[in-house]
């Protein structure tokens, strides 16, 4: 079986965007690949180092959502980056062979320097963000990496670093990792802007039915539709956009009803809220399996320790090969 690796940064609660953009795919990909799913807590630290208190808690909460979404610890290795020190070891070696110009021109770098508000990411470490990501991928000799479009430059850089390393040590240690592009289910935030925690326009997977209903009631709809008798424009309506993502089979009928003014925005929102409450039920139900949140956290810790052992076994093997190739003590 070919190997797959992906990761998420534990910087807060997972939301509907993560479900549509990643988790639904992760679940499915377990049938086709030997999967490694990683809590990228070092990557989170690179932007959150001034306020790292939430990283540990988010790591646990995120893994609960992965499990509830059907990521299966019996079939996949679920682990936390900081439990496997070889990530940093390989990161250091890749940093040595990566030309400065390659990291400086990664588009996400300049963008984040400009856009990450309230965080000073003008650090030595942050420049290496995609090099650490390359280490994550190469450490497990992953063939496939499911990512969103924004991550494609990081995959390209990973391949370039691997090629350079192969050239330097005159042998092939790694397969060329390929991106598995998640067909971008574009989901706007509840206010119609880009969905982002920092805008406060997300719906958390573990949100209560009341919270979900309230968020949906406050959603923006088609501004050109003033009266219910006006025909709607589902292509530009955010609520209708959610139907398209979460009701891919049946959304066309709903869109048709909207466009012919048979369905009003109030009904549309009420039914979307109901659908989203049902969709997110597994995330609440999974947490209810435990008597207390501390029991859930303990169970996740136990799973992460198990996962770390499996990840370490692979990581140790790869590092032994890499160190040997560079004349270092293994
Ligand atoms: N940079 C990724 C993101 O922000 C997270 C990540 C870290 C990752 N390491 C990875 C994704 C390795 C895929 C493979 O989404």
Residues 235 and 94 in one domain: no
DSSP state of 68: H
Residues 220 and 298 in one domain: no
Alpha carbon of 9 to ligand 1 centroid (Å): 7
pLDDT value at residue 25: 95
pLDDT value at residue 197: 80
Provide the edge-to-edge strand list for the sheet that holds 3-8.
77-80, 34-39, 3-8, 144-147, 178-181
Q: Which domain holds residue 257?
A: 208-279
Nearest CA to ligand 1 atom 6: 7
**Residue-wise pLDDT tens digits, 276-325:** 999 999 999 999 999 999 999 999 999 999 999 999 999 999 999 999 99
Is residue 40 in contact with ligand 1, taking CB distance under 6 Å? yes
Alpha carbon of 240 to ligand 1 centroid (Å): 30
Alpha carbon of 17 to ligand 1 centroid (Å): 15
Give domain status of residue 62, yes or no: yes
Residues 95 and 181 in one domain: yes
Cα 204 from Cα 209, distance rounded (Å): 11
Give domain status of residue 284, yes or no: no
4 pairs with which residues across the strands? 35, 144
183 falls in which pLDDT band (50, 70, 90)? confident
For residue 275, give the CATH number of its domain: 1.10.240.10
User: To test ligand 1's pocket by mutation, which of 41, 154, 196 has the most ligand atoms within 8 angstroms of CB?
Assistant: 154
**Residue-wise pLDDT tens digits, 201-217:** 999 999 999 999 999 99
Is residue 7 in contact with ligand 1, taking CB distance under 6 Å? yes
Residues 176 and 217 in one domain: no
Alpha carbon of 141 to ligand 1 centroid (Å): 15
Mean pLDDT of 249-253: 94
Residues 229 and 308 in one domain: no
Give domain status of residue 198, yes or no: no
Residue 32 confidence (pLDDT) above 80: yes
Residues 141 and 250 in one domain: no
For residue 41, give the CATH number of its domain: 3.40.50.620
Residues 75 and 222 in one domain: no
Residue 185 confidence (pLDDT) above 70: no
Mean pLDDT of 129-136: 98
Q: If residue 300 lies in a helix (H) or strand (E), which one and from where to where? A: helix 293-325
């Amino acid at each position: 079986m070919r190997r797959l690796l992906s990761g998420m940064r534990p910087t807060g609660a997972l939301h509907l965007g993560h479900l549509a953009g990643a988790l639904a795919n992760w679940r499915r990909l377990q049938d086709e690949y030997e999967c490694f799913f990683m809590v990228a807590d070092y990557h989170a630290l690179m932007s959150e180092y001034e306020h790292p208190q939430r990283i540990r808690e988010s790591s646990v909460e995120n893994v609960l959502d992965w499990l509830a979404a059907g990521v299966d610890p019996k079939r996949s290795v679920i682990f936390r980056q900081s439990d496997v020190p070889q990530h940093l070891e390989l990161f250091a070696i890749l940093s040595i062979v990566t030309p400065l110009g390659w990291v400086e021109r990664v588009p996400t770098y300049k963008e984040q320097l400009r856009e990450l508000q309230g965080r000073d990411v003008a650090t030595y470490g942050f420049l290496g963000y995609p090099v650490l990501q390359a280490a994550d991928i190469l450490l497990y000799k992953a063939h496939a990496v499911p990512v969103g479009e924004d991550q494609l430059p990081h995959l390209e850089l990973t391949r370039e670093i691997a090629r350079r390393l192969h050239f330097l040590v005159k042998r092939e240690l790694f397969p060329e990792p390929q991106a598995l592009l998640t067909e971008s289910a574009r989901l706007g935030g509840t206010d119609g802007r880009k969905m982002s925690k920092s805008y406060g326009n997300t719906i958390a997977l573990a949100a209560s039915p009341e919270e979900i209903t309230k968020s949906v009631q406050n959603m923006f709809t088609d501004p050109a539709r003033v009266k219910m008798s006006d025909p709607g424009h589902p292509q530009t309506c955010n609520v209708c956009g959610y139907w398209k993502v979460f009701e891919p089979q049946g959304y066309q009928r709903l869109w048709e009803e909207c466009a012919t003014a048979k369905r009003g925005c109030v009904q549309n929102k009420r039914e979307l809220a109901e659908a989203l409450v049902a969709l997110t039920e597994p995330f609440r139900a999974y947490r209810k399996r435990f008597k207390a949140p501390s029991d859930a956290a303990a169970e996740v810790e136990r799973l992460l320790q198990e996962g770390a052992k499996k990840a370490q076994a692979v990581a140790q093997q790869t590092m032994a090969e890499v160190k040997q190739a560079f004349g270092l003590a293994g």
